[in-house]
Structure 1
């Protein structure tokens, strides 16, 4: 224990000196020249193979984990729920997961995992999630604003506690309505265009390509977009064992992720090394990558704690949790690794 503490203290001392030396010059935006851990430390990561976790693919493929003395192994899982089970057992160190309603109850009961870095964020403008109303209701004047949806049937994938319910709830809040003021219908994304066409629903919440299908067919009209700009619905979480017993490895993991995010900004998002990384760890195609709308990868890897608290609030107020008081975000988030990473790297400009 004493030896671990000494190594940890030496790491911070050396890192702080490097940061202070470079903060005044151009090197402040570059990664600090930290010596790799010797011997390298193994870190096991469970992830769902989607692009929202792309920072970990880039960090691994471009040698950033190795640079900081980490031997990272990426294991695919079918769902975030599976990853959480592995994290809870301590058989993996980090998981890429979606923040779903059931997690709040688990955290409230003492689930020992913490958000240590963000996944992709929703764009600030022209985001993929759209709230679409049947065109005939718009044309007749029956629906002019969100307020006119009171009592109407709204389709979304996932049902109670889902991401769709959260987005619909946030849209309804703009008209001082709640999810209880509408009829929420659980319909798969692929079936939502038909539901609009057959008039079995009045409005839908969905993303591309299904939203594009409705708008192109002329059966629906866009009512609202960019409902929650900058929202984080996926995150990298560390097991309690990992962040408590190996904080030096956790710190370097987050540092590599921050450096990866900086290699994914603007046109660099589709640089060949990055495309190779995306292709290696997901089922993406080059055409899909080049024509699709990229997600947002914050170069400062900030964890939007206020956004997480809002997610929890909406799920709680919708009755999707087993408790009724706000959850302490200290049970959910550990920001110390992100904070130190940005101290070391310097803060990057954002658009």
Structure 2
């Protein structure tokens, strides 16, 4: 009789375990995500703070990367599983032979957004695209979003961007470079732009980005194709979490919590973040958006191989 009861108890326990959701029986998938110090990563910060990753059994570690242009190499070396390069950095990496795909997206461009621009050193006299000729201008990543779009703005204004000297410098260095006279201007973004202008180290010469079309990605979330193939549920869960975070961000009542999440990861005080503009979220990347960047970079002779937008987006 005791043996029968023991057997029945064991069977009941096994049935209860089998009835549990599969996700609850598995350890969380570890994902190291690389980001830079810009608010375009807000949807990832929100997903981390609001528990949207944990909800999908993902253990996401957010890792700060000083220069956006180094993210593809970190993905290739497996230092990161997913990272947030700008679209141009991503496409250059693929053009150079790295087999990367897009899992989701960060911020997108907006005609009303003035959160980045050309900030000139106080006393430099830079006001127009023509004033940039012969000058040294700092950008947060050679070949990254701000560098490529600024060159497009110069070209559209009739200025040969090859006559401008560009130097790579991380966002936190921009104010010191302007104060020290190492550069004549920087192409920078909030909240660093606001801090520079408030300190008197520089002034906004142009919110040049208003020429960009509406709704194109400023940051994309990329991974190795091999990693996505091995971890399809994790890649899908990451994208779903970012989509949920984007919906959260679009509700005005959540503004304070969104800014708090941003402040935690890019280490800025609340009074600075309170004034910063936040890029609209664009969690899903389309072929049209990728195609726009391919065309823009072809125009600047940055790509050597034909790239197919559809093949670069993880399904």
- Shared fold (TM-score, shorter chain, > 0.5): yes
Using the alignment, how far apart are the partners of 2:201 and 2:237 within structure 1? Answer: 49
Gaps of 5+ in 1: 1-34, 337-351
Match for residue 94 of structure 1? 82
Using the alignment, how far apart are the partners of 1:116 and 1:72 within structure 2? Answer: 17
1:262 deviation in Å? 0.8
Match for residue 278 of structure 1? 262
Match for residue 149 of structure 2? 167
Match for residue 254 of structure 1? 239
Q: Deviations over 1:68-106 (max 9, x none)?
A: 3x13231414344554344324564322333454x4343
Using the alignment, how far apart are the partners of 1:107 and 1:55 within structure 2? Answer: 25
Tell me whether 1:244 sits opposite 2:225 in the alignment: no
Among 131, 134, 154, the residue aligned to 1:153: 134
What is the number of equivalent residue pairs in this alignment? 280
Tell me whether 1:63 sits opposite 2:51 in the alignment: yes
Using the alignment, how far apart are the partners of 2:61 and 2:288 within structure 1? Answer: 29
Q: What SS does structure 2 have at the residue aligned with 1:64?
A: coil
Among 22, 25, 31, the residue aligned to 1:39: 25
- Does the CA contact (< 8 Å) of 1:44 and 1:74 recur in 2? yes
1:224 deviation in Å? 4.1
Using the alignment, how far apart are the partners of 1:100 and 1:173 within structure 2? Answer: 17
Match for residue 28 of structure 1? none
Alignment of 1:124-139 (within 5 A): 124-131=111-118
Using the alignment, how far apart are the partners of 1:105 and 1:129 within structure 2? Answer: 22
Using the alignment, how far apart are the partners of 1:281 and 1:226 within structure 2? Answer: 28
Tell me whether 1:292 sits opposite 2:276 in the alignment: yes
Using the alignment, how far apart are the partners of 1:170 and 1:82 within structure 2? Answer: 22
- Does the CA contact (< 8 Å) of 1:122 and 1:296 recur in 2? yes
1:107 deviation in Å? 0.9
- Does the CA contact (< 8 Å) of 1:155 and 1:187 recur in 2? no
Match for residue 179 of structure 1? 161
Alignment of 1:104-115 (within 5 A): 104-115=91-102
1:62 deviation in Å? 1.6
Using the alignment, how far apart are the partners of 2:179 and 2:306 within structure 1? Answer: 37
- Does the CA contact (< 8 Å) of 1:90 and 1:241 recur in 2? no
CA 1:222–1:327 in 2, change beyond 3 Å: closer, same or farther?
Answer: same
State the superposition RMSD in angstroms. 3.8
Using the alignment, how far apart are the partners of 2:313 and 2:159 within structure 1? Answer: 30
CA 1:174–1:110 in 2, change beyond 3 Å: closer, same or farther?
Answer: closer
CA 1:281–1:212 in 2, change beyond 3 Å: closer, same or farther?
Answer: closer
Match for residue 349 of structure 1? none
Match for residue 117 of structure 1? 104
